[in-house]
Amino acid sequence: MSRLNELWHRGAEDDWEEAVRQYWTIPGVSSQRALEEQMDHIHESRMTVLNDVDRFYEFLKDELYPWKMDRQHITPQQGNLDRYHRSTPGGIDRLRHSLLTNVSRWGNVGVDGVYKRMSVVGGMGIPVASGCLALLFPEHFGTLDRFCLRGLLTVEGHTITEYLRDTEEVPHNPDHFFDKYEDALRLHVAKLITVLYREKASELNARYDTAVWTPRRVEKVVWTLRDS
């Protein structure tokens, strides 16, 4: 039985908190600690980020992409973002305005549409789009990538995680599942995992009589314990 599965079903509050603390010790996080801490607090100034198109573009290119992407992909995908920005007048501004005005109204039903809208932006795709949403709106979103998929595939006894295991493309190749942009299955899985993050955050807050748990915090635990 995986550590994540054990924690998911029987973990005490201290166990969950310890898993969040462990997030900061993972090599991929600790090696860029300053950037990680900066991104962990970006939601506190999200109105500044979203109120100006130039600041939003700067956030995407110079902060989000270096934070979420593997090192070898950062420069090429920054180039894709720049080309999108030049070839699609107003595209970045429309995305900015959509995030600024709609996020509080995006319930579970509309989540796949959110990712479809964002994944067309140059170099973004579902993993980076989810990172953008998780950083700016941690109370609504957590990141979605191959690491989280690997972790959630070890969680038993939930309809969503059972669906993931029963969907051949997910367990067959979780490391490349999100590589295809705007694919209906990928968008559906992104929606389901977002729902799962939200449900777990609500459950933990109710169980421990607190308000600290968010989809982003739950995702950090999944990301941390993915291979243990």
**Whether this model's pTM surpasses 0.85:** yes
The letter for the amino acid at 169 is: E
Token pair listed for 210: 């607190």
Q: Is 66 exposed, middle or buried (0-12, 13-18, 19+ CB in 10 A)?
A: middle
Give residue 104's pLDDT. Answer: 66
Contact 90, 121 (CB under 8 A): no
- Across the chain, which has 228 residues, the per-10-residue mean pLDDT values are 94 97 94 95 96 96 95 94 95 93 73 87 91 96 95 96 95 89 87 97 98 98 92
